[in-house]
């Protein structure tokens, strides 16, 4: 019995269409999955390195602190740097998620029995994803601005 687990959903859909998946299509699907995993791995690695650098900056800032007010100021700067970094990382994660969602919708449309009939649905799904992305980015920017740690908002991919 299948649940709402993504891997089980993939297995179920593959079992329901035996013989319809050519080796080229299977390789294309595997390549897309590997590209997605690679993109997430690269994102995690770059974000971990950024966090490590920010942590080292904070340690260096506190090494030179001698009075309580300087400690408070160093702590404030560290918190603002952390908020800005977290905001940037969440923006990157959101952008990658939406990019991969849109690629999945394109793939779904490509393999749909009636791609032209599915086109309005695909377009609606992409519009909904774009609206979610805009809402998340607006919330992140609002929160970062409220703390004085707002990084420049940017989308990391072209539409």
Q: Are 109 and 119 in contact (CB under 8 A)?
A: yes
Q: 42 pLDDT band (50/70/90 cuts)?
A: very high
Q: What's the pLDDT score for residue 15? A: 54
Helix pair angle (68-111, 115-147), 10° resolution: 180
The mean pLDDT of 111-124, rounded to a whole number, is 89
CA 29 to chain centre: 20
* pLDDT at position 22 over 80: no
Judged by average pLDDT, the poorest of 12-21, 98-107, 111-120 is 12-21
What is the tens place of the pLDDT at every residue in 57-107? 999 888 888 999 999 999 999 999 999 999 999 999 999 999 999 998 998
């Amino acid at each position: 019995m299948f649940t709402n687990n993504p891997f089980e959903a993939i297995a179920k859909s593959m079992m329901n269409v035996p013989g319809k998946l050519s080796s080229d299509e299977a390789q294309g699907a595997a390549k897309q999955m590997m590209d997605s995993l690679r993109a997430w791995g690269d994102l995690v690695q770059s974000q971990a390195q950024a966090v490590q650098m920010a942590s080292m900056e904070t340690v260096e800032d506190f090494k030179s602190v001698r009075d309580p007010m300087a400690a408070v100021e160093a702590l404030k700067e560290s918190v603002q740097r952390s908020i800005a970094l977290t905001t940037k990382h969440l923006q990157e994660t959101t952008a990658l998620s939406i990019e991969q969602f849109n690629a999945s919708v394109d793939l779904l449309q490509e393999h749909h029995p009636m791609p032209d009939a599915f086109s309005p649905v695909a377009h609606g799904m992409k519009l909904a994803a774009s609206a979610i992305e805009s809402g998340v980015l607006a919330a992140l920017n609002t929160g970062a601005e409220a703390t004085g740690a707002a990084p420049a908002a940017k989308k990391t991919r072209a539409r």
